[in-house]
Chain A
Amino acid sequence: EVQLLESGGGLVQPGGSLRLSCEASGFSFSTHHMNWVRQAPGKGLEWVAAISDTGAGTYYADSVWGRFTISRDNSKNTLFLQMNSLRAEDTALYYCVKEVIVQQKFDHWGQGILVTVSS
């Protein structure tokens, strides 16, 4: 069974930093692209970032480019999102999402981890 378990969320002040982790199990982590998708309270889904299976390719939404960094450790089946210079508008539930490369589909989602940016 595929499991994606996010951690590292919480309350942070504007301008602060936070590092999210996503521990994956139940599938071959090193052969799948991975993504972060967020959802602000009461709002729709916003794709944040993606990383290729090897980690060589990374992609970002304009809204987080230069502030967030996606990375992975395939030896530990773990995905990361380093978030710097956080803003109030980054407040959201952050989902770790597994991607199937050939069909380009997001087939498994974590339960989400809440990040709140507030003073």
Chain B
Amino acid sequence: IQMTQSPSSLSASLGDSVTITCRASETVDSYLNWYQQKPGKAPKLLIYLASTLQTGVPSRFSGSGSGTEFTLTISSLQPEDYGTYYCQQSFTTPFFFGPGTKVDIK
């Protein structure tokens, strides 16, 4: 199951709403995870099962979708939200990741 993401990068202002899209080549049901990675750091789990917020993750992050199309939304962009965001399907091995979306703060 191949994963694609769009856009590959974006630049947004503080307070903006940002949406990243992830598509799977075939259905992954709701087994879709989102991770944030900052430079030089390990990835951090944000959302699992497409829409469930991981403990400790701010509520401005939300996920939606099922089947083959998913979105990650940051409702009000904060300075600490820079980094690269990856989707990952965990429906079946190989657990492919998307190519990533780099988010910059204007």
Encoded as 1 (CB less than 8 Å from any B CB) or 0, chain A from 75 to 119 comes to: 000000000000000000001000010011111011110000000
Asked if A106 and B33 make an inter-chain contact with CB atoms under 8 angstroms apart, the answer reads: yes
Say how far A26's CB is from chain B's closest CB, in angstroms.
15
Residues of chain B in range 21-50 having any CB-CB distance to chain A below 8 Å: 31, 33, 35, 37, 42-45, 48-49
Q: Does B90 contact A (CB under 8 A)?
A: yes
A95-B42, A109-B42 known; A103-B48 Cβ under 8 A: yes
A109→B43 contact, CB < 8 A: yes
A59 within 8 A of B: yes
Residues of A contacting B48 in the complex (Cβ-Cβ under 8 angstroms): 100, 103-105, 107
Task: Decide if B42 touches A50 in the complex (CB within 8 Å).
Answer: no
Contact B97 A45 (CB under 8 A): yes
| Chain B: number of interface residues, binned into ranges | 20 to 34
A106 to B99, CA, bound (A): 17
Interface size on A, residues (CB 8 A): 22
Contacting residues of chain A (41-64) with chain B, CB-CB under 8 angstroms: 44-47, 50, 59-62
Pairwise interchain contact A104-B99, C-beta atoms closer than 8 A? no
Other than A47-B95, A95-B42, A106-B90, give 14 A-B pairs with Cβ distance below 8 A. A44-B97, A44-B100, A45-B37, A45-B43, A45-B86, A45-B88, A47-B88, A47-B96, A50-B93, A60-B94, A104-B48, A105-B45, A109-B42, A112-B42
Chain B residues within 8 Å of A, Cβ to Cβ: 31, 33, 35, 37, 42-45, 48-49, 52, 54, 84, 86, 88, 90-91, 93-100
